[in-house]
Amino acid sequence: MTPGDLPFEMDVAERAADEPALVVDVEGFEGPLDLLLVLARQQKVDLAKISILALANQYLVFIEEARKLRLELAADYLVMAAWLAYLKSRLLLPETSGPDGMSAEDMATALANRLRRLEAFRHVAEQLLVRPQLGRDIFARGQPEPIAEIKHPQYSATLYDLLSAYAVQRQKSVLGHVRFAKRTVWSLAEARIALERLLGQAADWSRLDQFLLAYMVEPALVPTVVASSFAASLEMVREGVAELHQHAAFAPIYMRRRMVVREVTSDSGATPSPRAT
Partner 1 sequence: MASLAERRLTIVQNEVESMSEARPEELRLLEALLFASAEPLDETVLAARLPADTDVGDALNRLQAEYAPRGVNLVRVAGKWSFRTASDLSWLLTKDSVVTRKLSRAAIETLAIVAYHQPVTRVEIEEVRGVVASKGTLDVLLETGWVRPRGRRKTPGRPVTYGTTEAFLSHFGLERLDDLPGLDELKGSGLLDGRLPAGFAVPVPSDDPALRDDEDPLEPGDLDFGLAPPPSRVEE
Minimum gap (Å) between residue 110 Cβ and partner 1: 10
Residue placing its CB nearer to partner 1 in the complex, 92 or 148: 148
Interaction between residue 106 and partner 1 (CB under 8 A): no
Angle between helices 52-69 and 32-42 (to 10 degrees): 120
Minimum gap (Å) between residue 2 Cβ and partner 1: 8
Strand partners, 103: 97
Residue placing its CB nearer to partner 1 in the complex, 20 or 219: 20
- Cα separation, 113 vs 2, in Å, equals 10
- 220 contacts: CB under 8 Å, gap ≥ 6: 184
Residue placing its CB nearer to partner 1 in the complex, 165 or 264: 165
Interaction between residue 27 and partner 1 (CB under 8 A): no
Interaction between residue 149 and partner 1 (CB under 8 A): yes
- 252 contacts: CB under 8 Å, gap ≥ 6: 207, 208, 209, 210, 246
- Strand order, beta sheet including 253-257: 206-207, 253-257, 242-246
- Cα separation, 272 vs 200, in Å, equals 11
CA-based nearest residue to 257, from 238, 240, 272 = 240
Q: Which stretch binds partner 1 (CB under 8 A): 50-58, 164-172, 195-203, 249-257?
A: 164-172
Interaction between residue 173 and partner 1 (CB under 8 A): yes
Interaction between residue 171 and partner 1 (CB under 8 A): yes
Minimum gap (Å) between residue 265 Cβ and partner 1: 45
Interaction with partner 1 in 67-86: which residues (CB under 8 A)? 76
Contact, 243 vs 237, CB < 8 A?
A: yes
Q: Which stretch binds partner 1 (CB under 8 A): 54-62, 163-171, 194-202, 227-235?
A: 163-171
Residue placing its CB nearer to partner 1 in the complex, 117 or 197: 117
Question: Could you give the maximum distance between any two Cα atoms of the chain, in Å?
Answer: 154
Strand partners, 242: 257
Contact string 174-203 vs partner 1 (x = CB under 8 A): x-x-x-------------------------
Q: Which stretch binds partner 1 (CB under 8 A): 84-92, 109-117, 198-206, 242-250?
A: 109-117
Minimum gap (Å) between residue 141 Cβ and partner 1: 6
